[in-house]
Amino acid sequence: MTERIVGARLGYEDSETLSRFLATGGDQGLRRAVLEMRPEEVADEVTTANLLGRGGAGFEAGRKWSMLRKAPRRYLVINGDESEPATFKDHLLVERDPHQLVEGATIAAYAIGASLVVIYLRGEFALGLERVQQAINEAYARNALGRSIFGSSFSVDILLQPGAGAYICGEETSLIESLEGKRGFPRIKPPYFPAVIGLYGEPTIVNNVETVSNLPWIVQHGGAAFKALGEGRSTGTRLFALSGQVQRPGPYEVEMTKITFRDLIYGKEYGQGLHPDRSLIAFIPGGVSAPWFFPENLDIPLGQDEVAKAGSMLGSGSVIVMDDTSCPVRSAWRIARFFARESCGQCTPCREGGAWIDKILRRIEEGEGREADLDLLLDLCDNISPGIKWPPAQTTICVLGPSIPPSVSAAVNHFRDDFLVHIKEGRCPHA
C-alpha cells in the first residue's frame, strides 16, 4: 500500500468540506507550526524532507526558501496556474482538497515570514476558485487565518487571484507580472530568482500548489518521515497524472522511485494497460515540454534523477500514452501548435520558430509536406535551442521556447518512416 500524502482525502466524496478536513487531521500541521515551532524549525523540516518543487522544475523547496533576500516585506505566491498540457493534479487538489492548500500556504507563510500570501489559480478553474475562496473564508472564521492565528503572534492574510487564460503565466516571473496587473511577459534574467526581486520588487517565494499541499503532512510527521519515502533526491510521494490512450487515465499518488512507467501504465491499480489489440509506440514522462520515451524506457522508475539520466524529465508529473492507432506526426504537430499559440512573443526564436514548426508539421500531416521538411524542422529546433540536447540550451527569456524542440525532434528522429509515408502518399496513413 502506497503512502498517501497530498491525496489522502481524495477517496472521500466530501473531501472538499471543512468537516471532512477537520475529521482527517486538518489544521494539525498549522497549529503545531504556529504554536510549537519557530519559523526556522518549520523550514528545517522542509529542508530535511528534501521536498522538491512539484510545479515542473523540481527545485528543492527548502533551498528556495533559504534564498529569500532579507527585507522587511516579503511575499508568498502560490502558483496554481497549472496549464502544462496533460497535467491535472493541481486542478484536482484545488477542487477536492482546498483546505489542505490553504493550510499548506499558511504554514509556508509562517516559515518564511511572508507579509501577504496570494494564491494565483488558473482562471479556468471556476469550481476550484469557488472552493478555495470558501476554504479561505472558513479559515478566517475559525482563526486559522488573519490576525493572531490560533492565538499565536503570527498574522497573515491570503488573497485569491484568478488568472485569465495564459499558459505562460505558470512561469514564475510571468505570473508575478500578471499579478501586478500586466501582460504575462516573463522577466529578463538576471535576477534569476523572485526570492531576490519578485512581486513589487520585493523578495517573493513562488511555490506550486502540490508543493505546499505537502506541508501539513511534513510538519505533522516530520521531514525525516517524508524523506524515508522514495529514494535519493526523490522523496515523498507524487501525484502523477496519467492520460492519453490507456484504459484508466487518472491521478495516481505513488511513492517516488518505487514503481516504473510500466507499472503506472499497465498496473492493475493504475492505468490498466492499453486498449485491446493496440500497442505502445511512445509516452511522454513529464508534460509536453519533456522529450518522449519509447517502449524500451518502460522500466525506468518514477524518480527525478532516474528519468533525467534517461534523457527526459519528470517535469509536471503528467504521463501521456500514445498507442499505435495514433499518428506521431499529428501528436508532434498538436504539441508544437500549443507552444506556438502560447508563446508570449517577446523572443524571436520562440515566436517565429514555434509558428514555423506548427505550419510545417501541419502541412506534412495534411499530406502536403516534402522530404526537405524533415531537415528544416530540425534546423528550426536547433535555432530555438542550439544542439537540440537535453537539458536544452536556451536562447530565450524563459523556457517556453526550449520546450518546443523535444517533441519535434523525438517524432522526426524516432518516427522518420511515418513522416516519409505522409510525404510519399500525400496523406496521413492514420486518418
Chain residues 340-399 in contact with another protein, contact rule CB under 8 A = 341-342
The size of the interface with another protein (CB under 8 A), counted in residues, is 76
* Cα–Cα distance for residue pair 417/237, rounded to 1 Å: 39
Note whether 82 binds another protein by CB under 8 A.
yes
Q: What angle do CA 102, 250, 300 make, to 5 degrees?
A: 105
Closest distance between another protein and the C-beta of residue 50, in Å?
26
CB nearer to another protein: pick between 127 and 224: 127
Give residues with Cβ within 8 angstroms of 277, minimum separation 6.
none
Chain residues 92-151 in contact with another protein, contact rule CB under 8 A = 113, 115-116, 122-127, 129-131, 133-134, 136-137, 140-141, 145-147
Note whether 187 binds another protein by CB under 8 A.
no
Closest distance between another protein and the C-beta of residue 228, in Å?
30
Question: Which listed residue (18, 30, 34, 166) binds another protein by CB under 8 A?
Answer: 166
Could you tell me where the DSSP H helices lie in 180-214?
A: 209-213
| Residue reference for cell 509536453 | 288
Candidates 167, 183, 18; CA nearest to 100 is 18
Note whether 415 binds another protein by CB under 8 A.
no
Question: Which listed residue (11, 13, 19, 72) binds another protein by CB under 8 A?
Answer: 72
* Cα–Cα distance for residue pair 213/93, rounded to 1 Å: 8
* Cα–Cα distance for residue pair 89/83, rounded to 1 Å: 11
Looking only at the bridges linking them, the beta strands covering 230-231 and 158-162 are: unpaired
Give the dihedral of Cα atoms 177, 180, 181, 184; nearest 10 deg.
10
Closest distance between another protein and the C-beta of residue 387, in Å?
25
Note whether 178 binds another protein by CB under 8 A.
yes
Of the listed pieces 56-64, 162-170, 207-215, 224-232, which binds another protein according to CB under 8 A?
162-170
* Cα–Cα distance for residue pair 406/385, rounded to 1 Å: 10
Chain residues 189-208 in contact with another protein, contact rule CB under 8 A = 200
Closest distance between another protein and the C-beta of residue 212, in Å?
18
CB nearer to another protein: pick between 188 and 224: 188
